[in-house]
Amino acid sequence: MTDQIDKKLMSQLLKIGASLSSEKDIDQLLENILQAAMNITNADGGSVYRTTEEQTLHFEILHTKSKQVHLGGKSAIPANLPPLALYKEDGSPELSRVVCYAVHKDQTINIEDAYNSTEFDFSGTKKFDSANQYRSQSFLTIPMKNHESEIIGVMQLINATDPDTGKIIPFSATNQEIVEALASQAAVALTNRLLMNRLEELFESFISLINHAIDDKSPYTSGHCNRVPVLTLMLADAVNRNEAGPLAQFNMTEADRKELKIAGLLHDCGKITTPVHVVDKATKLEKIFDRIDLVKTRATQILKNIELAAARGELSSDQASTQKSQLIADYAFLEHCNVGGEFMKDADVERVRTIGAQYQWQDLNGDSQPFLSDEEIKNLTIRAGTLNDEERKIINHHIDLTISMLEQLPWPKHLKNVTEYAGGHHEKMDGKGYPKGLTREQMSVPARCMGIADIFEALTAHDRPYKKGKTLSESLDILGKMKLGAHVDPDLFDIFIWEKVYEEYALKYLDPKQIDEVDVAKIPGYNPPPAIISQ
């Protein structure tokens, strides 16, 4: 019979050990520790305390089976009990409380009947008993010491019960040894889990440090770095809960979400080396400053030359007036071109070139110079946006650097997809994106989610120096056209609309003026959900 009991206990301890080593949730881990100890000793009650940096014992769990009391841990009611000070006001160790004594003396205390104890102060216990019609009798208090001999907490069991009679009995020496071994094993598991949590916190702080460095270079990109992961997760969560269409079987665990969040936070880490004058280029002629002011100075000089020519009789007043009006109109046109936009027409490009050659101005040496230099014409005729081809290559290089940086990190198994997710947000479904020219089939669903998030955030962003944030309907119109052009994943686009991810994001991050009425039926590429089609 003893061998059978030993085998049963051994099997139980092995199962407990396995559960302790695999559990990632701290609260659940503490629950497992206490429940295992209470089951082995058949204790009616128990509690777990954790030591704090403030030299106190913090209540984590309080459980009494007979009274159906369950505070802290995984229960819905927090254990809002005051912490126990390990030291008195004069700095001497607090030894009157049994749990504090166990910490200071590093020893287990086994008490048959607390009401007969003269060594420890059980006034608080007696007060609790009186208020709850309970009788706390046998106590087993065990310090939880990890592999570095550091006491990280205390486990206390109350009222061992005879399984046959239900009578309260002392905790046996055998049970004490078993629980001491369990407490030691639990302390190691808890320490390891806390260490892992702190390492994860450190890693996420390191990511924040990188984004802070990017933010310090350009405040315009920091919002983007923070919003893209949020929108990516919104879309991924929508796909996860969606039960219609080709992606109905997609499943994402909490660990998957964490991996995707980290990828989102790092998706533009390569911009840490991108020159600020390129990242923040607000107008086509901007470098260190906006050179449209130089063009204005030249125009002002030419206007004065026209006035002087009229004063000398070289031009009639009508001729002078006509030339001045034309110059003012031409300069206004150049100012408009300098702002940048979605697309510049061929006629506008040609007009810029004509204006550049049409006027002359004198430099400090008195030499005549064309109104616009070749480099200025090149920038003013940028078809869309504010970046020329060379600057666009510099910007695009950030994704190559992002991938290169992330590939050098020794990612653990649960984060092995970070590089793929982060490195694919500029790819297109038809393989015409960059940097690798991947097709839709070569990309994972989370990576494709980030592609849509990156585009939609950029369209709606109202903190960029070179453009105003577009309205919700304008952004969805452009995104719909990108679906039809095989730029973004069509199935993800459908879910983006079906689940109103755009609305959820807009309410949190868009200026209220940008949130206009959206008629989904008018969005290019809109595809009603299957439930509507079936009706």
pLDDT at residue 531, rounded to an integer: 61
Contact between 458 and 466 (Cβ < 8 Å):
no
Helix locations, 486-534, DSSP H: 490-498, 501-509, 530-534
Out of 124-128, 331-335, 371-375, least confident range = 124-128
pLDDT at 2: 44
* Residue after which a domain boundary falls, among 146, 162, 196: 196
Domain boundary among 360, 386, 412: 386
Q: For position 89, which CATH number holds?
A: 3.30.450.40
Q: How many other CB atoms sit within 10 Å of the CB of residue 133? A: 7
* Same-domain pairing of 136 and 81: yes
pLDDT at residue 219, rounded to an integer: 62
* 184: confidence class by pLDDT, cuts 50, 70, 90: confident
DSSP 3-state of 258: helix
Of 353, 386, 419, the last residue of a domain is 386
Element (H, E) at 15: helix 2-22
- The pLDDT of residue 426 is above 50: yes
Position 533 scores a pLDDT of 45
- What distance in Å separates the CA atoms of residue 9 and residue 26, rounded to the nearest whole number? 25
- 256 & 226 share domain: yes
Same domain, yes or no: 160 and 122: yes
Q: In this predicted structure, what is the pLDDT of residue 4?
A: 47
Indicate the pTM of the whole model. Answer: 0.68
- If we measure between CA atoms, which residue out of 535, 533, 504, 502 comes closest to residue 520? 502
Domain assignment of residue 211, yes or no = no
Q: For residue 82, is it within any domain? A: yes
pLDDT of residue 535: 40
Per-residue pLDDT for 1 more than 80? no
Please choose, from the candidates 105, 160, 164, the residue with its C-alpha nearest in 3D space to the C-alpha of residue 138.
Answer: 160
Q: Which of 61-75, 204-218, 312-326 comes out lowest in average pLDDT? A: 204-218
Asked whether residue 351 carries a pLDDT value surpassing 50, the answer given is yes
Question: What range does the domain containing 253 cover?
Answer: 218-276+390-534
Mean per-residue pLDDT over the chain, rounded: 88
236 and 374 co-located in one domain: no
φ, ψ (nearest 5 deg) of residue 483: -65, -45
Query: Among the ranges 65-74, 206-215, 322-331, 458-467, which has the highest mean pLDDT value?
Result: 322-331
Instruction: Enumerate residues 6+ apart whose C-beta is below 8 A from 371.
Output: 295, 298, 299, 302, 355, 356, 357, 358, 359, 360, 361
Q: What is the separation, in whole angstroms, between the first and last Cα of the chain? A: 68
**509 in a structural domain:** yes
State whether 303 and 332 are in the same domain: yes
Same domain, residue pair 146 and 7: yes
Same-domain status, 112 and 161: yes
Residue 482's pLDDT is 95
Q: Residue 362 in contact with residue 368, Cβ under 8 Å?
A: yes
Q: Is pLDDT larger for residue 411 or for residue 191?
A: 411
Model confidence band, residue 466 (pLDDT cutoffs 50, 70, 90):
low
Whether the pLDDT of residue 51 is over 70: the answer is yes
The pLDDT of residue 11: 64
Average pLDDT over every residue of 431-447: 95
H or E element, residue 139: strand 139-145
Q: Which residues, 6+ apart, have CB-to-CB distance to 36 below 8 Å?
A: 12, 16, 182
Could you tell me if 301 and 288 lie in one domain? yes
Query: Tens of pLDDT along 499-514?
Result: 999 999 999 999 999 9
The answer on 24 and 104 residing in a single domain is: yes
pLDDT for the residue numbered 496: 97
Task: Place 5 in a pLDDT band, splitting at 50, 70 and 90.
Answer: very low
User: Helix %, strand %, coil % for the chain, to 5?
Assistant: 55, 10, 35
- In 3D space, the residue among 180, 191, 85, 193 whose CA is nearest the CA of residue 148 turns out to be 191
- Average pLDDT rounded to a whole number, residues 399-403: 91
Give the number of domains in the chain: 3
Which pLDDT belongs to residue 213? 77
CA distance 461 to 463: 6
CATH number at residue 471: 1.10.3210.10
357 and 491 within one domain: no
Same domain, 245 and 152: no
Same-domain pairing of 89 and 177: yes
Whether 263 is covered by a domain: the verdict is yes
Residue 383: name the closest of 305, 306, 467, 284 by CA. Answer: 284
